[in-house]
Amino acid sequence: QQQVWVSCDCGDFTFRLEYALTQRRSSSIQEARALPPERTNPKMKTRLCKHLLKIIQLLPQIQIRLSQS
């Protein structure tokens, strides 16, 4: 497995996921204050927002287009 760094400026990522992912060295605090999301993600679960999931879904198509260029 390789570690990746992710970020998104949507509210879900900013206020629920950014801090938790930063603790796992998969993001950094960019939009939110450097405080744990005690109300929105008290268990510090890590996942991706819908925008990042969509990018991952589109990656195979993007790679095909790049290889054809």
DSSP state of 14: I
d(CA 34, CA 20): 10
DSSP-based helix, strand, coil % in the chain, nearest 5: 45, 0, 55
Closest CA to 22 of 41, 38, 46: 46
pLDDT in tens, 1-34: 788 899 999 999 999 999 999 999 999 998 777 8
Q: What pLDDT shows up at residue 66?
A: 66
Q: What pLDDT shows up at residue 15?
A: 93
